[in-house]
Amino acid sequence: MDAKHTADLVVLTIRDDLLKILLVVRENEPFRGRLALPGGFLRPGEDLERTARRELAEETGLEAHQLPLLQLHTYSDPDRDPRGRVITTAYLAIAPDLPTVAGGTDARSADWVEVDDSLREQLAFDHWIIIDNAMERIRSELEYTPLATSFCPQVFTLSELRRVFELVWGVTMDPGNFRRKVATIKGFVELTGRKRHNRDGGRPADLYRRGRARTLNPPFRRPVGAR
Amino acid sequence: MDAKHTADLVVLTIRDDLLKILLVVRENEPFRGRLALPGGFLRPGEDLERTARRELAEETGLEAHQLPLLQLHTYSDPDRDPRGRVITTAYLAIAPDLPTVAGGTDARSADWVEVDDSLREQLAFDHWIIIDNAMERIRSELEYTPLATSFCPQVFTLSELRRVFELVWGVTMDPGNFRRKVATIKGFVELTGRKRHNRDGGRPADLYRRGRARTLNPPFRRPVGAR
DNA sequence: GTAATAGTGTCTCTAAGACAGTATACC
DNA sequence: GGTATACTGTCTTAGAGACACTATTAC
C-alpha cells in the first residue's frame, strides 16, 4: 500500500537554565491550534533527513545546515493520523541557546517550551509519545556519546557542561568529581587556553571546546535516582 | 508525496559456534537471485512491526509471535529501490538456534549465512548497509541491555552466554571474570538450581535463565580491541 | 590416574563518590 | 576583609583484568 511520510523534529536547547523543546502551534487541520512538533511531508527527491532540515527552516526559521540530526524512531500506527495513512520518522536536533525563533509558513508561531510542561499539554497526534521516547533516548545518549556538548556553544565551561547533565538527568553532580571524570574521557573536551570571567566575581573558568571522540570511553554512569 | 514502505528483518542466531544471519534468495525482480534480508511491503491496517512479523513467517516459515523485535533504522534514500520510491524500516530479531528454515512464497529459499560472509556477498538493495549498521547497534546493545540472552535458549550456561559476547565482539573473555561480572549485574540472570552435564566430562555447569532487568547496571564495557 | 570443563579466590589498578581544601575573581 | 565561583587533593570503596587455584565430571 501507499502511505504518506513525514519527518518530525525534537529540537532541544537549554534556555533560562531550563531544558526546552521547540514546538509550533498548528495552523491547519487536524489539530489546528494545538502544539505540535515541527515537521512535514516528504517531497520527491528528498530523503527524510533533508525533509527534516527543510521543515525546520520553513516552520521555525532555524537554518540548520550544519546542525547534526539524529534519527530516533519511526511511528507507523495505522490510526495515528486522522487524515489517513501517515508514517512519521522522528529526528533529534540539539542546539545551543539560539535567538528567538519566528513562525514560518505552516505554523502560526514557534516557541520554546519547558519539556516537562510540554508533556502536560494536549499535543497533536502521538507527539507526546515521540517526545517521551526522545527524552529517554537522550538520557541514554549522554552516557555513551558526546551529545551533551551539542547543548553548549563552541566554547564552554565545565560548569555549563555539567549543567547539561544535571538538567537532562534531573540530578546534581559534584563539580570536582565531574571535572575529574570528564578529564579521564579521552577526546571528550579540549582546553582552549582561554578563560571566562564571571560578572559577580569568582575565579574565572577555563574554556573548553568539543573533542574528536564520537563515543565516551569510559562512559558516564547515570547516578542512582537519575531520570 | 506517496511512497511504498517495507519492513526488513535482520534475524540473527548462533549456529555451529558462528554468528549467522537469515537471508533469502530473491524470487522476483529487482535483484532476482540475489541474497537479501527477509521483508516486504506494509499492508493496510498493519503497523510496521506487524509487517515484519508477517513477512518473517511468510518468507522463512519462522513463527515469531513471541519473538521480541527491535526497530533499528529507517532508510529513505530516493534511489535505494529501482522500482521507485520505497522506504524501509529495519527490525532486529534474535533467536536461539532454530530448526532449519524453509523458503516461503516470496523467496526461493531461506538460509543461515555467517555474518562476515554475508557482508562479502553482493546483496540486494542497500541491505549490506542495513546489516552493517545493525551489527554496530547490536555490539552496543550488548553493553547496556540483556540482548545477549536472546541468543540463548530458555535455560543456558554462563559459558554459552559468554560465547555470545565473544562472537559478537570478536574477543575472548576470561571465564572467571565474566562470571563475577555477570553476578554483579542485578536481574541479568538467575540460577535455576539445575545443572547440565557435558558429553566429554568436565564439571557440570549451573543452568541460568534470564532475569527481569531491562537494562544492565553496571553495564558491560567492550574490551579494547573489540569490534 | 588424565583430560576437560566449571567455578572460586586473590592481587593490582582504575575509576567513582564524598568532601575538605586552595585559587582567583568582584565587591 | 567577605562572598562567589572554579579548581585540586585525599580518602574510601567498587569494579575490571590477570591469573592461580579448586571442583566435578567422563574416560
The answer on pLDDT for B129 being more than 80 is yes
Residue of chain A whose alpha carbon sits nearest to that of B73: A73
Distance of CA B188 to the CA centre of its chain: 19
Q: State whether A28 and A133 are in the same domain.
A: yes
- Distance spanning both ends of chain B, measured CA to CA: 40
Domain that holds residue A177: 145-210
Residue A59: pLDDT over 70: yes
Distance of CA B73 to the CA centre of its chain: 14
Is the distance between the Cβ of A159 and the closest atom of strand D smaller than 7 Å? yes
The amino acid sitting at A61 is G
What is the residue-wise DSSP string for A96-158? SS-SPP---SSEEEEEEEEHHHHTTS-BSTTHHHHHHHHHHHHHHHHHHSGGGGGGS-SSB-H
The total domain count for chain B is 2
B159 located within any domain: yes
Q: Which CA-bearing residue is nearest the C1' of D9?
A: A176
**How far does A18 lie from chain B, in Å, by closest CA?**
28
* Residues comprising chain A, all counted: 227
Which amino acid, one-letter code, is at B36? A
Residue pLDDT, tens place only, B17-36: 999 999 999 989 899 999 99
* Site of grid cell 557542561: A161
Contact B78 A4 (CB under 8 A): no
Q: Is the CB of B217 under 7 A from strand D?
A: no
Q: Determine, yes or no, domain membership for A225.
A: no
Q: Which of B2, B43, B73 sits opposite A4 (nearest CB)?
A: B2
Cβ contact (<8 Å) for A5 and B3? yes
Mean pLDDT value of segment A32-51: 96
pLDDT, averaged across chain A: 93
3-state secondary structure A132-144: HHHHHHHHHHHHH
Instruction: Return the pLDDT at B65.
Output: 78
Closest CA to B11 of B79, B74, B57: B57
Q: Is B54 found in the same domain as B138?
A: yes
Mean pLDDT of chain B: 93
One domain for residues B8 and B98:
yes
A141: which residues sit within 8 A by CB, 6+ positions away? A70, A147
Has residue B102 got a pLDDT over 80? no
Instruction: Give the minimum alpha-carbon distance from B204 to chain A in angstroms, rounded to a whole number.
Output: 36
> Could you tell me if residue A194 is inside a domain?
yes
| Cβ density class B172-208: b for 16+ within 10 Å, e for less | ebeeeebeebbeebeebbeeeeeeeeeeeeeeebbbb
Q: Is A175 on the interface with B (CB under 8 A)?
A: no
- What is the per-residue pLDDT for A202? 87
Distances, alpha carbon B213 to alpha carbons A136, A224, B68, B93, B142, in Å: 17, 15, 15, 19, 13
Same domain, A95 and A132: yes
B125 and B70 within one domain? yes
Predicted local confidence at residue A161, as pLDDT = 98
pLDDT of residue A225: 85
State the Cα–Cα distance between residues A158 and B219, nearest whole angstrom: 25
**A214 contact to strand C (CB, 7 A limit):** no
Question: What is the per-residue pLDDT across A113-123, written as a single tens digit (0 to 9) for each?
Answer: 999 999 999 99
If pLDDT is split at 50, 70 and 90, which confidence band does B99 have? Answer: low
**Residue A150 and residue B185: Cα distance in Å, rounded?**
31
* CATH number, position B72: 3.90.79.10
With a pLDDT cut of 70, the percent of chain A lying above it is: 96
Instruction: Over range A13-22, report the average pLDDT.
Output: 95
Please check the confidence at residue A102 and state whether its pLDDT lies above 70.
Answer: no
Residue B25 and residue B17 in contact, taking contact as beta carbons nearer than 8 Å: no
Backbone angles phi, psi at B105, to 5 degrees: -75, -50
Q: How far apart are CA A215 and CA A121, in angstroms?
A: 35
Whole-number Å distance between alpha carbons of B9 and B1 = 25
**Is residue A57 domain-shared with residue A19, that is, in the same domain?**
yes
State mean pLDDT over A165-172.
Answer: 97
Q: Do A37 and A115 lie in a common domain?
A: yes
Are the CB atoms for A136 and A200 separated by under 8 Å? no
Q: Is the pLDDT of residue B174 over 60?
A: yes
Q: Do B78 and A219 lie within an 8 Å CB cutoff?
A: no
For residues A11 and A69, state if they share a domain.
yes
Q: Are residues B39 and B91 in the same domain?
A: yes
Cα A82 to the chain's mean position, in Å?
27
- Residue A16 or residue A65, greater confidence: A16
**Helix/strand/coil for B50:** helix
Instruction: Select from B71, B73, B87 the Cβ nearest to the Cβ of A5.
Output: B87
Comparing every residue's Cα with the C1' atom of nucleotide D24, the nearest one is: B203
Q: Is A188 helix (H, G, I), strand (E, B) or coil?
A: coil
Does residue A220 approach strand C to less than 7 Å at its CB? Answer: yes
> Among residues A128, A143, A158, which one ends one of the domains?
A143
CB contact under 8 A, A87 and B5: yes
pLDDT digits (tens, 9 = 90+) for A116-164: 999 999 999 999 999 999 999 999 999 999 999 999 999 999 999 999 9
Q: Does residue A137 fall inside a structural domain?
A: yes
Question: A76, B48: Cβ pair inside 8 Å?
Answer: yes
CATH classification of the domain holding B159: 1.10.10.10
Q: Residue B45's CB: how many other CB atoms inside 10 A? A: 10
Residue B113, all three cell numbers: 549465512
Q: Which residues pair with B89 in a beta bridge?
A: B7, B74
How crowded is residue B161: how many other Cβ atoms within 10 Å of its Cβ? 22
Residue B63 has pLDDT above 90, yes or no: no
- Same domain? For B162 and B126 the reply is no
Residue type, B74: T
Q: Cα angle at B146 between B141 and B149, to 5 degrees?
A: 110
CB A178 within 8 A of CB A158: yes
Task: Select from B146, B38, A130 the least CA-distant residue to B138.
Answer: B146
Any A CB within 8 A of B42 CB = yes
Q: Percent of chain A at pLDDT above 90?
A: 81
CB A20 within 8 A of CB A13: yes
B44 contacts in chain A (CB < 8 Å): 1, 78, 85
Do residues B150 and B61 both lie within one domain? no
Question: Is the CB of residue B131 less than 8 Å from the CB of residue B113?
Answer: no
| Lowest mean pLDDT across A42-51, A59-68, A197-206, B170-179 | A59-68
User: Is there a domain that residue B155 lies in?
Assistant: yes
Instruction: Take residue B101 and report the three cell numbers written for it.
Output: 528454515
Looking up cell 491547519 gives A28
Q: Are residues B88 and B124 in the same domain?
A: yes
Place of cell 545443572: B195
CA angle A133, B87, B34 (to 5 degrees): 125
Is the Cβ of B16 closer than 8 Å to some Cβ of chain A? no
* Count of pairs with CB atoms under 8 A, one residue in A, one in B: 69
In a domain, A113, yes or no: yes
Domain boundary among B143, B164, B185: B143
Please say which residue of B126, B143, B160 terminates a domain.
B143
User: What is residue A60's predicted lDDT score, i.e. its pLDDT?
Assistant: 82
